[in-house]
Structure 1
Amino acid sequence: MKPSIPVYDICSISTGHKQEDLLAERMSHYLKKNYQRVHQQHGHSFFHMVFFTEGSGSQTIDFSRYAVTPHQIYFMVPGQVHSWHFNPDVDGYVIHFSEAFFRTFLLDHDYLDRFTFFSGNSKDQVMTVPAGSRKDVTALLEKILDETAQQEYDMVRVLLLQLFLTIEKCCGKDGTKIIPQQKQLVLRNFQQLINKHYRNIKLPKEYAELLYITPNHLNALCQDLLGKTAGELIRDRILLEAKRMLTNAGMTVTQIARELNFEDNSYFSRFFKKYEGITPDEFRKNLN
């Protein structure tokens, strides 16, 4: 069965690029080489960041559409899908880095999880850099381009971390509370389990057993940290995968229902319409 959408690594998404763990370029240069590829719905195996300095258009991240404006910055994590719909005047900076890029550099391998824009939730990943921070952000990105050109990759790592801290400080939500590390770990493990088992495990109590906690504890944790129940997180992941599969014209709705382990096509269609407001066939038509 062919995949719903193409999934690119750093080298395959950018024509002629050879460094498999890092890409840092000006947007105008990047688009000249890869315009057609990035304007189609696709997935990433890497972390992705763009800062727009000028231009307009729109982009979709996991099927949510956002208007593009100058001084907007957005992040994506591996596994997310998106497409661009830019006007010709767009410019800025593009950075890709692999999951392995910081692995031997940081003692805490989960360090990036502390940043809200690496949550995998598109609503937390698209921000506008305030006027007072734009000069600092631009200066950091220029340094990253310079150090990348000189293949000084440890310096790039330091500058990227400085950039992440700057963005979190200037764009973070007001009143964001500090989350204890143990709670972060449980939530991250739950989300990883969902990504691994969402086709076969549908109930929060089954995930709670895998995490060695009670269903009530899991549900309270999700509501406290994300404002959603554990069941809603599982449902959202199933719906996201259904949407990704619906982009594949070679798969029927019946095949998608079977892939997602629904009892039958009608049950899947009712489930999809209940939470999306339209049927799977209507969603597919709207993609055109």
Structure 2
Amino acid sequence: MAKVPVIEQCVVSHGLNQEIMIEGLADYLVRNVNLVFPHRHNFYHFVLFTAGSGSHTIDFEKFEIAPWQIYFMSPGQIHTWEFEGEMQGYVVNFHKDLFKNLLLRPDYLNTLSFFSGLVRDGVFEVAENDRELVVELLERIRNFEGEKDFVTSTLLYLFNLLNQQRVPSLSVESNAYNHTLLRNFLNLIEANFKSLHLPKEYAALLYITPNHLNALCKELLGQSAGEIIRDRVILEAKRLLVIKDYSVAEIAYDLNFNDNSYFTKFFKKVVGVTPEEFRKNK
């Protein structure tokens, strides 16, 4: 079985700007006609569909394509697509360090809802009253692609516009606090999910009680804190399982499970099949 390859920015952006690339979806697909197998990126990536149909899968979650759907992906996520008919829209790829010297907050992208690491946050439909402006901004970026300062500032404006569609009004101070707390929790999971598996460990890092953390997660995400941590561990296990170089025992060790059998029971309870069966079906 072949491993899931990592696609480099220079491969899909051949002959184009290596820090940021924006291209019409139809032209992008002509250049990358063979890019239909499951793969990962080492860069940030988003696509806006304006016409066409089919499906795309991100980190093992499948989505049906509809006009004005947009999806965002962070480096490391696994995806593939199956398009039907004539596809129209925009593809944007940008280097993970594009904003490094521009922003005071190096973690800015992680504060955006669609780069949270939760797949369900990264796929949504652009609000009807913003569609014309979104296209206008993408066209501006495409027309001035060589002018980095203009491109990055315009891209940040686009992100802020789209993020406002995704985040409920934070005018009430308690809501702002809760959303910041949740974002910090998700960031902590991303940094520590291999070593910290318990809600109480994250609650301690956030200086709140486990009950407070659990109530917050249920209110804003509809899941318990433990389920959110568990899902991130399972996602990493799935990613490693489709990278065929790793044995199940190695994956269990990497994810800090005491033994292989306990990891297998944990995985089967959540996913419904054993790690070996999951790998065989992918």
Q: Which one of the candidate residues 134, 137, 141 is aligned to 1:137?
A: 134
- SS of the counterpart of 1:35? coil
* Preserved contact between residue 4 and residue 244 of structure 1 (Cα < 8 Å): no
Which residue of structure 1 aligns with residue 271 of structure 2?
276
Alignment deviations for residues 73-120 of structure 1 (CA, whole Å, 9 cap, x no partner): 111223322112223622211112233222333344444445322222
In structure 1, what is the Cα distance between the partners aligned to 2:109 and 2:75?
13
Q: Which moved more, 1:188-197 or 1:65-74?
A: 188-197
Which residue of structure 2 aligns with residue 153 of structure 1?
148
* Preserved contact between residue 63 and residue 82 of structure 1 (Cα < 8 Å): yes
Q: Map residues 217-256 of structure 1 onto 2, 5 A cutoff.
A: 217-256=212-251
One-letter amino acid of the structure 1 residue matched with residue 192 of structure 2: H
* Preserved contact between residue 15 and residue 33 of structure 1 (Cα < 8 Å): no
Q: Give the alignment's TM-score, normalised by structure 2.
A: 0.84
Q: Which one of the candidate residues 186, 189, 204 is aligned to 1:194?
A: 189
Which residue of structure 2 aligns with residue 128 of structure 1?
125
Which residue of structure 1 aligns with residue 256 of structure 2?
261
Structure 1 residues 110, 245: closer, same or farther in 2, change over 3 A?
closer
Q: Which moved more, 1:104-113 or 1:84-93?
A: 104-113
Structure 1 residues 31, 122: closer, same or farther in 2, change over 3 A?
same
* Preserved contact between residue 21 and residue 93 of structure 2 (Cα < 8 Å): yes
Which residue of structure 2 aligns with residue 24 of structure 1?
22
Which residue of structure 2 aligns with residue 73 of structure 1?
70
- SS of the counterpart of 1:100? coil
Alignment deviations for residues 229-274 of structure 1 (CA, whole Å, 9 cap, x no partner): 2222221111001111121334333333333233333322221121
Structure 1 residues 191, 133: closer, same or farther in 2, change over 3 A?
closer
In structure 1, what is the Cα distance between the partners aligned to 2:238 and 2:107?
29
In structure 2, what is the Cα distance between the partners aligned to 1:281 and 1:164?
40
Count of paired positions: 278
Q: Which one of the candidate residues 166, 177, 196 is aligned to 1:172?
A: 166
Is the counterpart of residue 59 in structure 1 residue 56 in structure 2? yes
In structure 2, what is the Cα distance between the partners aligned to 1:129 and 1:211?
33
One-letter amino acid of the structure 2 residue matched with residue 198 of structure 1: F
* Preserved contact between residue 24 and residue 144 of structure 1 (Cα < 8 Å): yes
Which residue of structure 2 aligns with residue 48 of structure 1?
45
Alignment deviations for residues 98-143 of structure 1 (CA, whole Å, 9 cap, x no partner): 3322233334444444532222212122122344433222222111
In structure 1, what is the Cα distance between the partners aligned to 2:189 and 2:161?
31
One-letter amino acid of the structure 1 residue matched with residue 9 of structure 2: I
* Preserved contact between residue 118 and residue 125 of structure 1 (Cα < 8 Å): yes
Q: List runs of 5+ in structure 2 lacking aligned partners.
A: none
Identity %: 47
Q: Give the alignment's TM-score, normalised by structure 1.
A: 0.82
- SS of the counterpart of 2:280? helix
* Preserved contact between residue 242 and residue 279 of structure 2 (Cα < 8 Å): yes
Is the counterpart of residue 15 in structure 1 residue 14 in structure 2? yes
Which residue of structure 1 aligns with residue 97 of structure 2?
100
- SS of the counterpart of 1:69? coil
Which residue of structure 1 aligns with residue 80 of structure 2?
83
Compute the displacement of 1:16 (Å). 4.0
Structure 1 residues 10, 134: closer, same or farther in 2, change over 3 A?
same
Q: List runs of 5+ in structure 1 lacking aligned partners.
A: none
